[in-house]
């Protein structure tokens, strides 16, 4: 079905809906092809609205009948919905529509996945279920009855009654339509329970397909920990008698926080030691927490309109990272978050897709579930907390919940609770929500008889979204380390508000080394004129774990840049500095594993482009490989011990301690493989009894060119486990040589189990390929062509997943003229497809530019 013509929606045009809804009842007669949905909605005129047009959204619906107060009416239908004349008084709207869940391949609205019915309504999917004011500021109490031949029939809220093939649900909390959910299928429940701090007994269930029962225990435990944490840290209790989670195989994203009925991509909830890696466990724990935390930040307090998406997403990401930091290691979590921010948000913020944390316009809201709104949105809250302090942050959050419970809010409401709590004027701080672009911060030092002056300059490069950026409020965390490696000044938060600003540290004995932007206190690109020797000093002695890691990373980057640009050898001092850190048995193994990482190839490409060079993917790849080889050689006598000492022999636990040890032993293994002819990797593969060990060994074997046997064995072992097979597909792409990557992808896409209509499987191959820097950017253009072919094929079925993957092209202006021309040809070829979706059209138009 064709999309309605693209239309740009503006924040400035917001007006409230002309009606208030007193109640909604929905009745579903489920059928794979012809599901009937009856709605009965009590409306009354909204006294605060100026426009009283009765418009209901509706897409791909077959209207059977409509009535107002029991009298049949004939509404005017358009591609986007309907209008109808209505009384200037309270009235009841009743409609019946027919929809086709099987034909719904976009996985938005009501659709089928492996014979089960499920829904995804955020942001604007409810309009594919029935005619409704499908906007988040219209909140209502829902009653739902489901009629279907399935043992499990679920919707939001509490169950009212259940008979054979009929279930009735009532959700007492007013909610917007995007939080509606329905699930029906042949599912089994993994039960649990939780008692809230005020004594409410909550029944918990994790619903899965038969056969997946053994992968539920961890998710259930994570849910209980999340519920407890939100009580302890934010004072937020759960508010229904029941909390259900359902695992679904076909899902466009990670998970969805529908009230009382979270729906999860099965990859984001199912876990077992044999089939999931440590990283999977940690991600699942974080996503379960994220969706649960939405119950307050998103559901009880929701967004007035979709421009305010960061109000719930930035805040909820911030909350889930606090949770992970509390139950695992705070410094490891912070470093991982910064790596992720630089990998996903920086390219967005510095390219053609740059948009503010609160955008001012969009065509397709699904395209704005971005790293900027989620991750930069979370960074903004972290800065706010640094600026006001922990106590004021806690008070403001409590005020937010007290003041706005049950409302649909804006960023202004959020900032006002901070202003009212602290008396601070946050007008300038609000720029973080309104301006696109990553600020560049540079600092110079002056030393004069015990007085150290730091002079900062900030500058945000202009973008299409923000042509004239103004200075931001920057919390800059600074500490001082002396020549002996002692901290002479603990962390201070300098508050920078001007384009240029100086800060003075007085009464210092000897000249210290300045540790700046500790904990990555603001999402900026920092330039600090430190010598390599000073950086090595901080790498050895900085008391801030983030900055210690950061200095190692900067040294690694300059070593790589010198190799790429001047053909130099890897920097010996950096190798030595890292060696000291990874040998320090007082340090957390997980942290040491991070120290063995290198900047990604696309990070290097971005750094090169930023310095005015044209990145050559082949040279970047070669430099990274040569660096890994040099590390392996230089640490040769250390690696076997490092590997053995941190190999876990106890029964598998996915906790921070064990997973940290495995991270370090596997980081050592990947270097060791370069000097032992993959002997240790083969041994580990043969002995592995958990997926972390098995997959890491397999990755090393493939990378070393010795993987063919293990690849076959792995497939034979796991062919019936779809989540493990996603890893099998993905790993072969990730570990492929750049010269061969596109052929590997072509072969894999011909595999009998390459079900391209399943988003997880599609992403495991094409998503991994788009992230394979050398393979995707192969000089022949074969990579660009291959991805474009698949995007063209997927778009008519699933616009959301297609559009998301278009971002692979967002960095195209970094590369040489030949590659740019090749990419442009592909962008134009996709854009020329008849009936290209609104999602993909918007993405590619923005990426391509004029
Ligand atoms: N709200 C969901 C979350 O927790 C994500 C929904 C994504 N929706 C979309 N249309 N992309 O993050
Ligand atoms: Zn979310």
For residues 2 and 548, what is the distance between their CA atoms, to the nearest angstrom? 53
For residue 755, what is the enclosing H or E element? Answer: none
For residues 240 and 525, what is the distance between their CA atoms, to the nearest angstrom? 45
Q: Give the orientation angle of helix 309-327 with respect to helix 278-293, to 10 degrees.
A: 130
Q: Which ligand is nearest to the CA of 315?
A: 2
Q: What share of the chain is helix, strand, coil (3-state, %, to 5)?
A: 45, 20, 35
For residues 467 and 470, what is the distance between their CA atoms, to the nearest angstrom? 10
Q: Which atom of ligand 1 is nearest to the CA of 108?
A: 10
Token representation of residue 468: 């004239």
Q: Which atom of ligand 1 is nearest to the CA of 287?
A: 4
Task: Give residue 850's pLDDT band: very low, low, confident or very high (50, 70, 90).
Answer: confident
2 C-alpha to center of ligand 2: Å? 29
Question: What's the pLDDT at 162?
Answer: 84
Please answer whether residues 479 and 543 qualify as being in contact, where contact means their C-beta atoms are separated by less than 8 angstroms.
Answer: yes
For residues 434 and 413, what is the distance between their CA atoms, to the nearest angstrom? 15
For residues 385 and 375, what is the distance between their CA atoms, to the nearest angstrom? 15
Q: Which candidate, 347, 351, 354, places its Cα nearest to that of 465?
A: 354
Residue 476 has pLDDT above 80, yes or no: yes
The per-residue pLDDT for range 713-763, each reduced to its tens digit, is 999 999 999 999 999 999 999 999 999 999 999 999 999 999 999 999 999
Length of the chain: 850
For residue 546, what is the enclosing H or E element? Answer: helix 545-566
The finding on whether 369 has its CB within 6 A of some atom of ligand 1 is yes
The finding on whether 291 has its CB within 6 A of some atom of ligand 1 is yes
Is it true that the peptide bond before 198 is cis, omega within 30 degrees of 0? Answer: no
Domains defined for the chain, CATH in brackets: 1-184 (2.60.40.1730), 187-288 (3.30.2010.30), 302-434 (1.10.390.10), 440-529 (2.60.40.1840), 617-848 (1.25.50.10)
Question: What's the pLDDT at 62?
Answer: 98
| Secondary structure letter of residue 152 according to DSSP | E
Q: Which ligand is nearest to the CA of 124?
A: 1
The finding on whether 366 has its CB within 6 A of some atom of ligand 1 is yes
For residues 103 and 34, what is the distance between their CA atoms, to the nearest angstrom? 10
The per-residue pLDDT for range 539-583, each reduced to its tens digit, is 999 999 999 999 999 999 999 999 999 999 999 999 999 999 999
Long-range contacts of 320-323 (CB under 8 A, 24+ apart): 320/286, 320/287, 320/289, 320/290, 320/293, 321/286, 321/378, 322/233, 323/226, 323/229, 323/233, 323/286, 323/289, 323/293
For residues 611 and 16, what is the distance between their CA atoms, to the nearest angstrom? 47
Listed in sequence order, the DSSP H helices in 405-469 are 411-422, 431-434
- Is 225 an annotated catalytic residue? no
Q: What is the mean pLDDT of the chain?
A: 98
Q: Give the orientation angle of helix 278-293 with respect to helix 656-672, to 10 degrees.
A: 140
| Secondary structure letter of residue 215 according to DSSP | G
Going from the C-alpha of 746 to that of each of 44, 737, 769, the distances in angstroms are: 57, 14, 11
Cβ density class 72-106: b for 16+ within 10 Å, e for less: ebebeeeeebbebebeeeebebbbbbebbbeebeb
Question: What's the pLDDT at 5?
Answer: 63
From 180, 226, 303, 369, mutation site for ligand 1 pocket: most ligand atoms within 8 A of C-beta: 369
Phi then psi dihedrals of residue 308, to 5 deg: -90, 15
Please answer whether residues 130 and 97 qualify as being in contact, where contact means their C-beta atoms are separated by less than 8 angstroms.
Answer: yes
The finding on whether 257 has its CB within 6 A of some atom of ligand 1 is yes
Token representation of residue 320: 């889930």
Residue 407 has pLDDT above 60, yes or no: yes
For residues 792 and 794, what is the distance between their CA atoms, to the nearest angstrom? 6
Q: Which candidate, 762, 816, 758, places its Cα nearest to that of 790?
A: 762
Please answer whether residues 801 and 251 qualify as being in contact, where contact means their C-beta atoms are separated by less than 8 angstroms.
Answer: no
Question: What's the pLDDT at 6?
Answer: 74
Going from the C-alpha of 429 to that of each of 38, 496, 548, the distances in angstroms are: 47, 11, 28
The per-residue pLDDT for range 11-20, each reduced to its tens digit, is 999 999 999 9
342 C-alpha to center of ligand 1: Å? 21
Q: Which candidate, 716, 719, 714, places its Cα nearest to that of 693?
A: 714
Q: Which atom of ligand 1 is nearest to the CA of 804?
A: 11
Alpha-carbon Rg for the chain in angstroms: 27
Q: Which ligand is nearest to the CA of 253?
A: 1
The finding on whether 302 has its CB within 6 A of some atom of ligand 1 is no
Please answer whether residues 659 and 332 qualify as being in contact, where contact means their C-beta atoms are separated by less than 8 angstroms.
Answer: no
Phi then psi dihedrals of residue 198, to 5 deg: -95, 5
The per-residue pLDDT for range 616-657, each reduced to its tens digit, is 999 999 999 999 999 999 999 999 999 999 999 999 999 999
Please answer whether residues 368 and 355 qualify as being in contact, where contact means their C-beta atoms are separated by less than 8 angstroms.
Answer: yes
Torsion of CA 770, 772, 776, 777, to 10 degrees: 130
pTM as predicted:
0.98
The finding on whether 256 has its CB within 6 A of some atom of ligand 1 is yes
Q: Give the orientation angle of helix 411-422 with respect to helix 309-327, to 10 degrees.
A: 60
Work out the average pLDDT over 507-514.
96
The per-residue pLDDT for range 91-139, each reduced to its tens digit, is 999 999 999 999 999 999 999 999 999 999 999 999 999 999 999 999 9
Percentage of the chain exceeding pLDDT 70: 99
Give the 3-state secondary structure of residue 294.
coil
Of 122, 225, 291, 735, which one is the catalytic site residue?
291
Question: What's the pLDDT at 1?
Answer: 44
Question: What's the pLDDT at 2?
Answer: 47
The per-residue pLDDT for range 737-751, each reduced to its tens digit, is 999 999 999 999 999
Q: Which candidate, 510, 503, 448, places its Cα nearest to that of 476?
A: 503
| Secondary structure letter of residue 499 according to DSSP | S
Torsion of CA 770, 774, 777, 782, to 10 degrees: -90
Q: Which candidate, 19, 402, 360, 50, places its Cα nearest to that of 234?
A: 402
Please answer whether residues 463 and 436 qualify as being in contact, where contact means their C-beta atoms are separated by less than 8 angstroms.
Answer: yes
Q: Which candidate, 5, 12, 135, 17, places its Cα nearest to that of 80?
A: 5
DSSP secondary structure letters along 292-325: HHTTTBTTTBEESSGGGHHHHHHHHHHHHHHHHH
Angle, alpha carbons 283-321-801 (nearest 5°): 50
Token representation of residue 428: 């300038």
| Secondary structure letter of residue 210 according to DSSP | T
Looking at the DSSP bridge assignments, the partners of residue 55 are 83
């Amino acid at each position: 079905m064709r999309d309605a013509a693209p239309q740009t929606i503006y924040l400035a045009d917001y007006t409230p809906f002309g009606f208030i809804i007193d109640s909604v009842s929905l009745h579903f007669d489920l059928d794979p092809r012809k599901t009937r949905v009856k709605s009965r909605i009590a409306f009354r005129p909204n006294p605060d609205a100026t426009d009283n047009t009765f418009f209901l959204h509706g897409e791909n619906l077959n209207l059977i009948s409509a009535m107002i107060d029991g009298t049949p009416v004939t509404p005017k239908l358009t591609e986007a919905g309907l209008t109808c004349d209505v009384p200037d008084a309270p009235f009841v709207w009743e409609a019946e529509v027919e929809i086709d869940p099987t034909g719904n391949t976009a996985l938005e609205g009501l659709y089928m996945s492996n014979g089960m019915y499920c829904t995804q309504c955020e942001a604007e999917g409810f309009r594919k279920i029935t005619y409704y004011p499908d906007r988040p500021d219209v909140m209502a109490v829902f009653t739902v009855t489901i009629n279907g031949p399935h043992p499990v029939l679920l919707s939001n809220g509490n169950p009212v009654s259940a008979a054979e093939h009929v279930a009735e649900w009532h959700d007492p909390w007013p909610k917007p339509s995007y939080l509606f959910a329905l699930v029906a299928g042949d599912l089994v429940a993994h039960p649990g329970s939780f008692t809230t701090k005020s004594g409410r007994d909550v029944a918990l269930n994790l619903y899965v397909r038969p056969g997946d029962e053994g992968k539920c225990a961890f998710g259930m435990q994570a849910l209980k920990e999340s519920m407890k944490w939100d009580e302890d840290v934010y004072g937020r209790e759960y508010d229904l008698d029941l909390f259900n989670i359902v695992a679904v195989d076909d899902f466009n994203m990670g998970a969805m926080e529908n009230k009382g009925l979270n729906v999860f991509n099965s990859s984001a909830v199912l876990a077992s030691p044999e089939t999931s890696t440590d990283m999977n466990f940690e991600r699942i724990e974080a996503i379960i927490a994220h969706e649960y935390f939405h119950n307050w930040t998103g559901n009880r307090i929701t967004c007035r309109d979709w421009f305010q998406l960061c109000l719930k997403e930035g805040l909820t990401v911030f909350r889930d990272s606090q949770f992970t930091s509390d139950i695992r290691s705070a410094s490891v979590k912070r470093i991982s978050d910064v790596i992720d921010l630089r990998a996903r948000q920086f390219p967005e913020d510095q390219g053609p897709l740059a948009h503010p944390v609160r955008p001012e316009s969009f065509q397709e809201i699904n395209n704005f579930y971005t790293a900027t709104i989620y991750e930069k949105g979370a960074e903004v809250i972290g800065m706010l907390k640094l600026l006001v302090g922990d106590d004021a942050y806690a008070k403001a959050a409590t005020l937010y919940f007290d003041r706005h419970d049950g409302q649909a809010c804006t960023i202004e409401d959020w900032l006002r609770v901070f202003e009212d709590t602290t008396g601070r004027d946050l007008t300038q701080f609000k720029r973080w929500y309104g301006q696109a672009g990553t600020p560049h911060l540079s600092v110079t030092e002056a030393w004069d008889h015990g007085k150290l002056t730091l002079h900062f300059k900030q500058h945000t490069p202009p973008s299409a979204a923000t042509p004239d950026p103004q200075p931001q409020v920057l919390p800059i965390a600074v500490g001082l380390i002396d020549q002996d490696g002692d901290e002479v000044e603990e962390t201070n938060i300098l508050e920078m508000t001007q384009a240029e600003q100086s800060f003075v540290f007085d009464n210092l004995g000897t000249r210290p080394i300045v540790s700046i932007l500790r904990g990555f206190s603001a999402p900026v690109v920092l330039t600090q004129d430190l010598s390599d020797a000073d950086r090595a000093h901080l790498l050895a002695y900085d008391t801030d774990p983030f900055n210690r890691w950061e200095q190692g990373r900067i040294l690694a980057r300059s070593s790589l840049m010198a190799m790429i640009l001047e053909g130099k050898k890897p920097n010996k001092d950096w190798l030595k500095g890292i060696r000291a850190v990874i040998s320090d048995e007082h340090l957390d193994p997980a942290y040491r594993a991070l120290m063995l990482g290198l900047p990604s190839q696309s990070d290097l490409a971005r750094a090169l482009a930023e310095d005015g060079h044209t990145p050559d993917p082949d040279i970047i790849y070669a430099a990274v490989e040569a660096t890994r080889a040099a590390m392996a050689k230089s640490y040769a006598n250390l690696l076997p011990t490092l590997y053995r000492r941190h190999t876990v022999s106890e029964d598998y636990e996915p906790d921070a301690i064990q997973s940290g040890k495995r991270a370090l032993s596997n980081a050592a293994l990947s270097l060791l493989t370069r000097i032992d002819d993959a002997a240790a990797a083969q041994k580990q593969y043969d002995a592995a009894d958990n997926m972390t060990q098995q997959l890491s060994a397999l990755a090393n074997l493939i990378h070393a060119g010795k993987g063919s046997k293990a690849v076959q064995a792995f497939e034979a072992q796991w062919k019936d486990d779809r989540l493990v097979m996603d890893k099998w597909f993905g790993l072969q792409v990730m570990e492929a040589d750049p010269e061969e990557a596109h052929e590997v992808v072509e072969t894999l896409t011909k595999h009998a189990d390459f079900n391209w209509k399943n988003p997880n499987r599609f992403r495991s191959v094409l998503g991994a390929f788009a992230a394979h820097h050398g393979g995707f950017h192969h000089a022949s253009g074969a990579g660009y062509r291959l991805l474009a072919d698949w995007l063209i094929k997927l778009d008519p079925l699933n616009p959301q997943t297609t559009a998301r993957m278009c971002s692979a092209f967002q960095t195209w202006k970094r590369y040489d003229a030949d590659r740019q021309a090749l990419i442009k040809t592909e962008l134009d070829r996709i854009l020329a497809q008849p009936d290209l979706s609104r999602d993909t059209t918007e993405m590619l138009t923005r990426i391509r530019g004029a």
